[in-house]
């Protein structure tokens, strides 16, 4: 245990090798000291360099802890003078997002989750500060433009044109709260234009299929092979739109082949149909050339949707649509009717973050980290499950592992859950049964956890070899744990209500 003293004889103790990171511990100690008055108003804190040397930690640990407490209002800093305890620290502790950690599994391999611990808090905070420091910021604080704040649309359009090969323009960009909302807005607009049926990939995201159906549209499944969507199957269906993940097919990881891309756009132009392009994780590619967007090839037939959910954090809920000209106003109107527009300050912060180079810097760092984790997962699978067939390793934040024929996917998931490990099957994302497979996200787990988790997975699979008796688990067709929890709660509520009525 390392101890140090500084003004006011305050003792800070950091414990190594424990669950909480050193930064979190330091942050917690300082916050408590201020709340309990052990560190008094105006007291100067040591420089980050001095405190880091004293505690034997890297300076970054102290800088991040100070930054967090600055953001919470416990500390104040001005250029050229020491960081001090604020003269009026917050009356209540700042929201304690980590005070009561939800009881969850030891290892969670949720696909597509970025590592939120590397969220660039400091840079994001500086961007927010810069936005708030603009003299006429009050003009941005009225009801938002339902299409999205124009500076944000400009910044996002320029970023997408540079990195994704789109032909985005601010006038055709609509901001929303993420892919999920973007898809619903497009469905709303399609329905108004008389579309009744939308094609989706099979396998393809189960939640999105449900979202389309919830918007009152019918869904047709089109198989995916090693070149992507079977475009030839589209011609037999009477659909007005098709949802695709061309850069990195979800969940298989396949890249849509150039011939298929061309055939798809020809189909859309021939039938005056809309291709809904989900570009969810294209920033993360490890061993392959970048794949441009369909929107860049046919802007009048593609509704392109992206978000910050993979690049930064899903909780930001910032997304964007690039729409064909004839659908832009309808989409903005649908957004107005949905929620009167997304939060302007968040949009402007993102715009500042992009234009100041923060997003590029963050992505460079994230790519390196995720590649190492991807490598660790591939190596662990090779060593613990050498016969497994692994797909989709070249890009994205997850990979897919095909299970031996006859394996009961749900039974494997249930066995994993009993060992405090949450894994996800491809089942909820398939329209037709085509064999069991697992989707393993690697981006949010440290390498040691990836290795330990895969070893545990191998033991679950050994227990659940083909032919073992299926062990059904509730609501297995719902992949999202939060949705599963809510539906189970509603079902329980309904059965209590029914019971009461019977009595
Ligand atoms: C295939 C796919 N598309 C898009 C998204 C992003 O959705 P959102 O922007 O609503 O968070 C996800 C997230 O998991 C996804 O898996």
CA separation (Å) from 98 to 29, 104, 473? 14, 13, 30
pLDDT at 466: 55
* 3 state SS of 13: strand
pTM of the full predicted structure? 0.80
Residue 498 confidence (pLDDT) above 80: no
pLDDT above 90 (res 486): no
Name the average pLDDT for the chain. 90
- Ligand 1 pocket member 205 (CB < 6 A): yes
Highest mean pLDDT pick, 319-323, 401-405, 433-437: 319-323
* pLDDT over 70 percentage in the chain: 91
Cα–chain-centroid distance for residue 155? Answer: 20
pLDDT tens per residue across span 32-57: 888 888 888 888 888 888 888 888 89
Q: What is the DSSP letter of 254?
A: P
260-313 confidence digits (pLDDT tens) = 999 999 999 999 999 999 999 999 999 878 889 999 999 999 999 999 999 999
309 CA distance to ligand 1 middle (Å): 7
Tell me, using a 6 A CB cutoff, whether residue 207 lines ligand 1: no
Any ligand 1 atom below 6 A from CB of 164: no
Whole-number Å distance, alpha carbon 52 to ligand 1 midpoint, is 39
112 within ligand 1 shell (Cβ under 6 A): yes
In this prediction, residue 472 carries a pLDDT of: 43
State the average pLDDT over residues 79-103: 70
Cα 420 from Cα 403, distance rounded (Å): 20
pLDDT band at 471 (very low <50, low <70, confident <90, very high): very low
pLDDT of residue 365: 96
Alpha carbons 346 and 360: distance in angstroms, whole number: 18
User: Looking at the predicted structure, is the pLDDT value of residue 139 above 70?
Assistant: yes
- The residue nearest atom 4 of ligand 1, judged by CA position, is 280
Is the CB–ligand 1 distance for residue 309 below 6 Å? Answer: yes
In this model, does residue 78 exceed pLDDT 70?
yes
Cβ(179) to ligand 1 under 6 A? yes
Strands (E), 118-217: 173-176, 197-202
Distance CA 346, CA 141 (A): 11
How far is Cα 320 from Cα 342, in angstroms, rounded to an integer? Answer: 11
pLDDT, position 8: 44
Could you tell me the distance, in angstroms and rounded to a whole number, from the CA of residue 129 to the centre of ligand 1?
Answer: 29
Q: Residue 31 and residue 157: Cα distance in Å, rounded?
A: 41
3-state SS, 430-495, equals CCCCCCCEEEEECCCCCHHHHHHHHHHHHHHHHHCCCCCCCCCCCCCCCCCHHHHHHHHHHHHHHH
Closest CA to 428 of 179, 110, 185: 110
Report the separation in Å between the CA atom of 203 and the middle of ligand 1, taken as the mean of its atom positions.
Answer: 15
Encode pLDDT of 201-211 as tens digits.
Answer: 999 999 999 99
Determine whether the shortest distance from the Cβ of 353 to ligand 1 is under 6 A. no
Q: Atom 16, ligand 1: which residue's CA is nearest?
A: 112
């Amino acid at each position: 245990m390392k101890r140090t003293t500084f003004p006011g004889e305050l003792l800070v103790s950091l414990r190594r090798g424990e669950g909480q990171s050193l930064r979190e511990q330091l942050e917690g100690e300082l916050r408590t000291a201020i709340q309990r008055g052990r560190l008094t108003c105006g007291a100067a804190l040591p420089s980050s360099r001095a405190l880091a040397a004293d505690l034997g930690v890297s300076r970054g640990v102290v800088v991040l802890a100070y930054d967090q407490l600055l953001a919470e209002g416990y500390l104040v800093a001005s250029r050229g003078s020491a960081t001090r305890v604020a003269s009026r620290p917050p009356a209540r502790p700042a929201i304690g997002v980590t005070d009561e950690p939800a009881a969850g599994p030891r290892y969670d391999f949720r696909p597509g989750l970025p590592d939120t611990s590397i969220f660039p808090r400091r840079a994001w905070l500086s961007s927010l500060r810069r936005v708030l420091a603009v003299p006429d910021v009050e003009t941005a604080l009225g009801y938002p433009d339902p299409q999205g704040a124009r500076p944000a649309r400009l910044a996002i359009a320029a970023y997408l044109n540079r990195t994704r090969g789109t032909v985005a323009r601010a006038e055709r960009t609509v901001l929303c709260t993420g892919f999920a909302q973007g898809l619903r807005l497009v469905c709303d607009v399609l329905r108004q234009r008389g579309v009744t049926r939308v094609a989706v990939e099979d396998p393809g995201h189960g939640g999105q299929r449900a979202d389309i159906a919830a918007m009152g549209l019918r869904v047709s499944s089109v198989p995916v092979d090693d070149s992507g969507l079977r475009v030839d199957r589209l011609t037999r269906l009477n659909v007005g739109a098709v949802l695709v993940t061309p850069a990195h097919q979800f969940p298989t990881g396949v890249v849509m082949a150039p011939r298929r891309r061309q055939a798809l756009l020809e189909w859309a132009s021939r039938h005056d149909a809309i291709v809904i392009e989900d570009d969810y994780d294209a920033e993360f590619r490890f061993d392959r050339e970048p794949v441009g967007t369909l929107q860049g090839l046919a802007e009048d037939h593609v509704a392109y949707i992206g978000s910050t959910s993979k690049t930064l954090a899903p909780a930001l809920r910032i997304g964007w649509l690039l729409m064909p000209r004839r659908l832009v106003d309808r989409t903005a109107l649908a957004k107005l009717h949905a929620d009167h527009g997304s939060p302007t300050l968040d949009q402007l912060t993102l715009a500042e973050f992009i234009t100041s180079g923060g997003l590029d810097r963050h992505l460079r760092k994230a790519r390196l980290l995720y590649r190492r984790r991807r490598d660790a997962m591939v190596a662990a699978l090779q060593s613990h499950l050498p016969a497994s067939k692994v797909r989709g390793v070249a890009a994205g934040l997850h990979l897919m592992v095909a299970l031996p024929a006859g394996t009961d996917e749900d039974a494997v998931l249930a066995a994993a859950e009993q060992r405090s490990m949450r894994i996800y099957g491809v089942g909820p994302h398939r329209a037709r049964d085509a064999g069991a497979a697992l989707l393993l996200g690697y981006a949010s787990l440290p390498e040691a956890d990836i290795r330990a988790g895969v070893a545990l997975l191998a033991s679950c699979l050994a227990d659940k070899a083909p032919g073992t008796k299926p062990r059904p688990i509730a609501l297995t067709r719902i992949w999202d744990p939060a949705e599963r929890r809510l539906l189970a709660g509603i079902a329980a509520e309904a059965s209590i209500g029914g019971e009461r009525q019977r009595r």
